[in-house]
Chains A and B, each alone.
Chain A
Amino acid sequence: MADTLIDATTPRQARPDARAPELSWRESTTGYLFLAPWLIGFFGLTLGPALVSLYLSFTDYDLLSNPRWVGAANYVRIATSDPKFSAAMRVTFLYVALAVPLKLAFALLVAMMLNRGLRGLPLYRAIFYLPSLIGASVAVSVLWRQLFAGDGLLNQALKLVGIHGPSWISNPDTALYTLVALSVWQFGSPMIIFLAGLRQIPKDVYEAAEIDGASRNQQFWRITLPLLTPVVFFNVVVQTIDAFKAFTPAFIISGGTGGPIDSTLFYTLYLYQEAFAYFRMGYASALAWVLVVIIAAFTALSFLSSRYWVHYDG
C-alpha cells in the first residue's frame, strides 16, 4: 500500500554495534552475487531496452533494414497528423474516465456494506473477488463477447421483457461500454483493499460522532471518506495505470482490429498493431514513450494534488 511503499524506501537504521562503517570487499561481493540475476535483468532487459527504444523512437525501423534516423518526425506525426492516434487517445481516455470511477465506486459501496459485520462476509468477499482473479483470461473476454452478442445472454434476457436489443459488440456506439462493464465487473481487488482500509478506522470515532448526533450520511462524508483517502488515492493510481495498459479484452472482443470503426482501439492495441502487424518499430517505440509520458504525468499530478485531498494520520 502507499504508506508501506514509503516505509520501504527508507531502510532501517543500521545498528551502531552491528558492523564497522567501512564495508569489506568480501561483503560487497556477496551482496552483488545475490543481486546478480536482478542486475543482469535490469541492464539487459530493462535499462538497455528502454534506452534502445528511446533511440528507435527517433528512427524508421522495419526489422529488415537498419534503423534510419528521422529526428523528431515520429513525434511530430503523432502530435499533428495521425487520426488513428487521436482515435486511440479518445477511446483510451473515455475508457479510463468511465471504468476507473465506476469500478472504485462499486468497490467502495460493496466494501462498506460488507464492513457492517454481516454474517457470511468471507463468502461474499470470495464471490466478489472471483471475477478479478480470472478477469485477465482470454476465456473471460470470450464470454463477454458472447454475453453482449446479438443473440447473447443480455439480449435473450431483454427479449423476455419485450425489448429487442442491438448487437452491442458490433455497434460502434456501444462496443466500448461493454469493455467498461467488463472492467467494472472486476471490482473485487480494489474492494478488498478498501475493506482492509475500513477495518483500520477506529470504532470510537464513530461512537463519538453518534453521540454528537451525526447522521449516517454525515458520518460517511465527514469520517469514513476522509480517513479512507490514502486508500482511495492508492486505488485510483493503480487502477488508472492499469486501465491505460488494458489490452486483452479489446483485442479479443474486436478480433484484434480495435473495431468497429476504431471504437475499441485501445492505445496498447494500436501500439501492438503498429509494431507487430505493420512492423513500424520506430513509430511504435515513439508511441510507447508517449504512453510513458502520459502515465508519468498522471502519476505526478495525482501525487501533487494528493496534498490537497489525501489525509495522512487524520
Chain B
Amino acid sequence: MVDLATSDESPPPRDRSGRALIYHVVLCLASIAMLYPLLWMLASSFKPDSDIFGNTSLWPHNFSLAAYWRGWSGLQVTFGKFFLNSLVVSLCSVVGNVMSCSLAAYAFARLKFRGQKFWFALMLGTLMLPYHVTLIPQYILFLNLDWVDTFLPLIVPKFLAVDAFFIFLLVQFFRSIPRELDEAAMIDGCGPWRIYWIVILPLSVPALATAAVFTFIWTWDDFFGPLIYLNDMNSYTVQLGLRSFVDSTGKSDWSALFAMSTLTLLPLFVFFLLFQRLLIDGIATTGLKG
C-alpha cells in the first residue's frame, strides 16, 4: 500500500515495555474484527451462493466472476450506466464546489467590502442549519423548474457554494498565505482576479485537493439527494442502482449483491489508497467528518 509505512509526524517516544506487545495483539485483533465484514463481502462476491452459507472460510475455493456478470446486467439498465451517471454527478460537483467555494473564500479572506463581517457570520450560521428545513421548498423549486429526473438539482447547488463548510476550510487556508505575495503581485499591476488566479489558487493546492476529494466521496456516497430527485432508472446513480438491486434480488442472489456492492465501493478504496494522508490530515486539522 502507498504511504502507509512512513510517517513524517514526530511520534511520542517508543514504549519499550512489554505492554507494547499487548497493545499490538489487541490492536491486531481489533483490526481483523473491523475489516472482517469487508473481507467477507469481497470473498463472497467470488463464491457461488451455496458456498457463502456452506462454509465459513474466507478463501473462495470455487473462484468465479460469474456474480459480477449477473449483477452488472441484473436490472433493466446496466451498472455501467449507473457508474457513468455517478461519475458525471460527482465530477461536476467537484468542479462546482471548488470553484464557487474558493471564490467566496477569497472574498472573505482577502478582499474588503461593506457588510463583509455580516455575510461571514451568516455563512457560518448556515453550517449549523440541518438541510431538512430547505429540503421541501428546494424540491418544489426544482419540480417547478422541471429539473426532476435530471442531474441539475444535484449539481447546481454545488456551483452556488451551498456546502459552506468548504468555504470555511478554504478561508482558513487562504488566511495562512502571506499577504506580502498579494502585495507584490499588486505592485506588478495585478488586480484581485489575477491575484486569485495566479497567486492564491496555485498556493492552495493542498486545501483545494482536500475539498475536491471530500466532495467527490460525499457526492459518490450521497443517497438521499438522488433518491428524491431521480425516478427514472436511466438517470440512477450507483447508490440508487444498488438499492434497486437489493429490492429486486432481495435474498435470492447474495453473491451478485456483494459483487455490485464491492464495485460501488471500489472508487472509494482507490481514493483511500491515493489520498489517505490528505484525508486523515483534513480530519485532524479541520474536524471534517470523514
Task: Tell me which residues across on chain A come within 8 A of B227, comparing CB atoms.
Answer: 251
CB–CB A137/B239 < 8 A: yes
Q: Nearest 5 A-B pairs (CB), nearest first?
A: A31-B113, A41-B160, A189-B290, A49-B137, A139-B261
A90: interface (CB < 8 Å): no
Once bound together, how far apart are the Cα atoms of A238 and B286, in whole Å? 12
Partner of A37, one of B114, B159, B224: B159
Q: How far is the CB of A110 from chain B (nearest CB, A)?
A: 7
Residues B79-114 near A (CB distance < 8 A): 99-101, 103-104, 106-108, 111-114
Can you report 18 residue pairs joining A to B where beta carbons are below 8 Å apart?
A: A1-B285, A35-B113, A37-B100, A38-B103, A46-B134, A120-B5, A128-B34, A133-B290, A136-B221, A137-B268, A139-B242, A146-B41, A146-B257, A192-B283, A238-B287, A252-B243, A275-B139, A288-B132
A-B contact count (CB 8 A): 307
Measured CB to CB, the closest approach of chain A to B223, in angstroms, equals 5
- Contact indicator A41/B100 (Cβ below 8 Å): yes
Residue total for B at the interface (Cβ-Cβ under 8 A): 113
Contact yes or no, B112 A284, CB < 8 A: no
Proximity string of chain A (288-309) to chain B, C-beta cutoff 8 Å, 1 when within and 0 when not:
1101100110010000000000
Secondary structure type dominating chain B contacts: helix
Give A contacts to B, CB under 8 Å: 1-2, 4-5, 8-9, 11-12, 14, 19, 23, 27-32, 34-42, 44-46, 48-50, 52-54, 56, 63, 110, 113-134, 136-140, 142-147, 149, 151, 153, 156-157, 160, 185-186, 188-189, 192-193, 195-196, 199, 203, 234, 238, 241-242, 244-245, 247-248, 251-252, 255, 268, 271-272, 275-276, 281, 284-285, 287-289, 291-292, 295-296, 299
B280 and A192 contact, CB distance less than 8 A: yes
Residue of A nearest to B142 (CB): A45
- 1/0 per position for B110-143, CB-CB distance to A under 8 A? 0111101101111110101110111111111101
**Distance in Å: Cβ of A255 to nearest Cβ of chain B:** 7
Complex Cα gap A276–B126 (Å):
24
Bound complex: CA A301 to CA B256 (Å): 47
Evaluate contact between B35 and A46: CB separation under 8 angstroms.
Answer: no
Closest CB of chain B to A290's CB: distance in Å? 10
Complex: how many Å from CA A299 to CA B41?
Answer: 38
CA distance A4 to B227 in the complex (A): 35
